[in-house]
Structure 1
Amino acid sequence: MKNNDEKLYYYKISTIVGNIYIIKSHKGLRNIEIIEEDWDNFKDKYNLIEDEQMCKEEIKQIKEYFLGKRKSFDLILDIEDTDFRKKVWVELINIPYGEVRSYSDIAKAIGNEKAVRAIGQANKANPIPIVIPCHRVIGKNQKLIGYAGNHTDIQEKLINLEKSFLN
Structure 2
Amino acid sequence: MITYTRIDSPVGELVLTAVDGKLASVSMSGTVDPDWQLAAFDKEKQQLAEYFAGTRTVFELELATAGTDFQRRVWDEIDRIPYGKTISYGDLTDRLGLPRERVRAVAAAIGANPLLVVRPCHRVIGADGSLTGYAGGLDRKEFLLTHEGVLQPQLELS
TM > 0.5 between the two?
Answer: yes
Secondary structure at 1:11 match in 2? strand
Q: Equivalent of 1:144, from 102, 125, 131? A: 131
* Residue 111 of structure 1 pairs with residue 105 of structure 2: no
The Cα offsets for residues 33-58 of structure 1, whole Å up to 9 and x where unpaired, read as 12x3xx32xx23x6211112xx1111
Runs of 4+ that moved beyond 6 A: none
Q: Which residue of 1 aligns with 2:111?
A: 124
Q: Equivalent of 1:18, from 3, 8, 12? A: 12
Alpha-carbon distance in 2 for matches of 1:11, 1:74: 18
TM-score by length of 1: 0.84
Alpha-carbon distance in 2 for matches of 1:81, 1:18: 26
Q: Which runs of 5+ in 1 are unaligned?
A: 1-6
Q: RMSD value over aligned CA atoms?
A: 1.5
Secondary structure at 2:8 match in 1? strand
Secondary structure at 2:24 match in 1? strand
Deviation at 1:95, TM superposition (A): 0.6
Alpha-carbon distance in 2 for matches of 1:70, 1:163: 13
Alpha-carbon distance in 1 for matches of 2:99, 2:60: 30
Secondary structure at 2:149 match in 1? helix
Secondary structure at 2:82 match in 1? coil
TM-score by length of 2: 0.89
The Cα offsets for residues 79-102 of structure 1, whole Å up to 9 and x where unpaired, read as 321111111111111111011110
The Cα offsets for residues 16-42 of structure 1, whole Å up to 9 and x where unpaired, read as 1100111112240011112x3xx32xx
Q: Which residue of 1 aligns with 2:38?
A: 50
Secondary structure at 2:26 match in 1? strand
Q: Which residue of 1 aligns with 2:153?
A: none
